[in-house]
Amino acid sequence: MKKSFAVIGLGRFGGSICRTLTDEGMEVLAIDINEERVNEFSMIASHAVVGDTTDEAVLKSLGIRNFDHVIVAIGDDIQSSILTTLILKELGVPFVTAKAQNDYHEKVLRKIGADYVVHPERDMGRRIAHNMISSNIVDYLELSEEHSIVEIVANAKLGGHTIMDMDIRKKYGLNIVAIKRGGDIIVSPQASEMIQVNDVLIVIGTDTDIDRFEKKVM
């Protein structure tokens, strides 16, 4: 069954989520306190409504608890973001994603029950910094404070070796979860898989182990 989404706050971040979900064919209710923003999205989202989401009655009248996933993308107004998230969880919305402005905000959002907290500026900054440090790292996804998944382009040092030869699990504590080769993707590759130059290795492990591997092999 198709999932239903509601996006609260139609700034740059919420707006982008709303457009992408709609492009992907999802049912999206767009909500903002600002009428101009709502008008802008009335042709994009399935429904667009003006409303102050810190008012429980407004959220109830929209039947918000029937949505599978609600995204709180309220920007600078931290108080409204927190209050909205709290009401959504109290009303029983199954999954709430909230955008945090800073670490304190993030902490509070988690405490009051946000199921997923995003911190786009910080996360994107880290991602770009990692790409700047190593040109071989094409993408970077932080899983926790200590763990990440990275996509590493295999250079001549890695090409021509099997996963077993390199022994990266034992030597570096890392796991290759998949290999992208041309248009194909090899999920859970066998130890006997021969790595080719320009393969993109999708590697999971601790940040320290990933750093060690990068410095040694890159």
- The residues that touch ligand ADP, with contacts defined as CB under 6 A, are 8-14, 31-34, 37, 52-54, 73-77, 80
Q: How far is the CB of 57 from ligand ADP (least distance, A)?
A: 13
User: What CA–CA distance (Å, rounded) separates 35 from 41?
Assistant: 10
How many other β-carbons are positioned within 10 Å of the β-carbon of residue 47? Answer: 13
Contacts of 142 by beta carbon, 8 Å cutoff, 6+ apart: 123, 126, 148
Q: How far is the CB of 30 from ligand ADP (least distance, A)?
A: 10
Q: Closest by alpha carbon to 210, among 132, 147, 128, 127?
A: 147
Q: How far is the CB of 140 from ligand ADP (least distance, A)?
A: 22
Q: Closest by alpha carbon to 73, among 23, 111, 20?
A: 20
- The DSSP call for residue 158 is T
Tokens of 58: 């407004």
Tokens of 62: 């929209």
Q: How far is the CB of 25 from ligand ADP (least distance, A)?
A: 23
Contacts of 217 by beta carbon, 8 Å cutoff, 6+ apart: 155, 157, 158
Measured from each CB, the residue nearest to ligand ADP is 75
- The DSSP call for residue 162 is B
Q: Which residue's CB is nearer to ligand ADP, number 15 or number 189?
A: 15
Q: How far is the CB of 33 from ligand ADP (least distance, A)?
A: 4
Q: Which one-letter amino acid corresponds to residue 209?
A: D
Q: How far is the CB of 83 from ligand ADP (least distance, A)?
A: 8
Q: Which residue's CB is nearer to ligand ADP, number 34 or number 198?
A: 34
Q: Which residue's CB is nearer to ligand ADP, number 9 or number 189?
A: 9
Q: Which residue's CB is nearer to ligand ADP, number 32 or number 106?
A: 32
Q: How far is the CB of 14 from ligand ADP (least distance, A)?
A: 6
Q: Which residue's CB is nearer to ligand ADP, number 76 or number 145?
A: 76
Question: Do the beta carbons of residue 30 and residue 38 sit within 8 Å?
Answer: yes
User: What CA–CA distance (Å, rounded) separates 188 from 120?
Assistant: 30
